[in-house]
Structure 1
Amino acid sequence: MEIIEVTSKPPYDSTPLTLVIGKFDGVHLGHQAVLQTAKEMKGEGEALAVLGFSDHPLWILKKDPEYQSKLTPDQEKMRILTRFGVDRYYRVEFTEEYARITANEFVLEHLSRLNVKRIVVGEGFHFGKGGDGSVTELVNLCSKIKSSVTVVPEIKEHGRKISSTRIRSLVKNGKMEAVQGLLGRPYTITGEVIHGEALGRTLGFPTINLGGTESYIEPKPGVYLGTAEIHHEKEGNEIWNVLISAGYRPTVNGQGYLVEAYLIDYSGDLYGKTASVSFLRYMRGEIKFTGLDALIAQMELDKKEAKELLEIIN
């Protein structure tokens, strides 16, 4: 997938496009419905493109810390969009200046620089300064640049709108089965396997520590059942069942939030590899134990419970 950085206006391009517009944080089932519609509508010889933002508008404009982290940071989002057949991603650097662009300017001065044959958006789409531009206005403005507009109805779950805000809250509360139901896949954090303090190895539970995960929304501290996909450059990726510890490691006076995973029945060296850890089920909260012996005993219980759950799930 080609990634085009947009710092003001997109570069002129004659490539015929079917264009999807949105923040796409999470690429949840609602987003996927829009992407699938666009994919099915794409004409022969057209590229499927997405126009999205570098950062959430509420972080840039309001400095709301809730929106500094993401369900799907760029690296994760690109992987998912590629699987949906997206050919091109316009990554707009969202700034306070960009936020002042009116609906008129967005279509007639920005989108007009591209050869957009059709635009596909979700039912609740708004655009332009203050989000004042409605879907109706988008249709009217796009007629002037000879682009059609398709509006995809909202996808609901048990009568409730599927939204990134709702999913964010579920992640922070450890409700991973509900998260998976709205994303259509488990919540996943991808990072590089880095060296830690090797305490897990000393305790008989060697773990992989994920680095470079600061831009992800942090799951509720605790122990989770999950899977880890180990990415290899040449040979195929491998997937392992894991116990995930996410949090602050109070028993050993941990410094900062950390995601580490114990690969059940695995032995080997994965340092420097990229790993994607998926959260399937919250098992228990983070506990400050009286000592390492108590911690080891609980980890043995966690491993036993994990294997029992895996027999049920699989």
Structure 2
Amino acid sequence: METDPAPETVADWKAVTDRLLISRCCAFHRNLEISSRYASVYRRLPACFKWAGMAAIASHHVRLALYPLRLDADRTGYVDIPHSLRRRRLLLTHDVDTIRATNNAIFDDIFWVHLAYAGEGDSDGDGIERLRALLGADTHYAPVLAGFEAIDRGRRVLADDTASAGDRRTAADLIWAGNVQLLEHEQRTLVQPHFDGLSCAFARLVSIGSATSFEVHGLRREAAYFTSFYLYSILHGLRAQPWPRITRYDDRWRWLVSSVVPRFRKFDANALLVDASMRRILDHSERYASVPCVRP
């Protein structure tokens, strides 16, 4: 049986990933599907795709911020976002919609790169060579390509049965460094321009509420992996800025690299625990897939 050839341009790859999702107007199903796609691609190469694992959990949490848009859902579950934005100003729905748009933009920009590297549609291809051909001349994607170069070098060492224990530890560190480069690109290039447009009131609310426990269940486990942006910022003394905000890049980045990433790395080392969390995200998406969210 013949298979479709692999896409040859960035635009083609983005079109492929966009077709994996339903209509953009369906904000909630789209969020669920984005989260499940991240979880699926992480499970495909868990030793390498650390950013995708973190993105799955972050996107899964974003669904909670979208609930004010539900106030304008009709009986079918369809949400008229333009109408909601016109009449729900007191509920900060413009800010909520910015969070929705940010989550969509991150998926559109980065998810396809994971598929291309993993060899989606072309089992004979070399993932890193494919990315070099696609991204080598694109300044926007230079940090992403650099991140995958590091990931690929680490992956090759881990695949070598003759590699020493020390070399394997260095390779694992290199893979994490590459994924942090992806995270920095996401935060600087995609998240920050959107966050610059959030209202001060919403920025304060999000700053206070931003926390993660990586979808683990059980009080003891949650305590071990829990991290709060606001608590971290206060305890680590951002004295020059008495009101730290997650919408400030420097404040947010310090928390991400000093608290979120180390905790996810510890979490990721427990294969059973991280797999349970990814399956929970996938099950949640599958469970709600049959709930109508578009007009018949």
TM-score, structure 1 normalization: 0.24
Question: Whose helix proportion is higher, 1 or 2?
Answer: 2
**Larger Rg over CA atoms:** 1
Q: Which structure shows the bigger proportion of residues in strand conformation?
A: 1
Q: Which of the pair has the greater relative contact order for Cα pairs under 8 Å at 6+ separation?
A: 2
Q: TM-score, normalised by structure 2?
A: 0.25
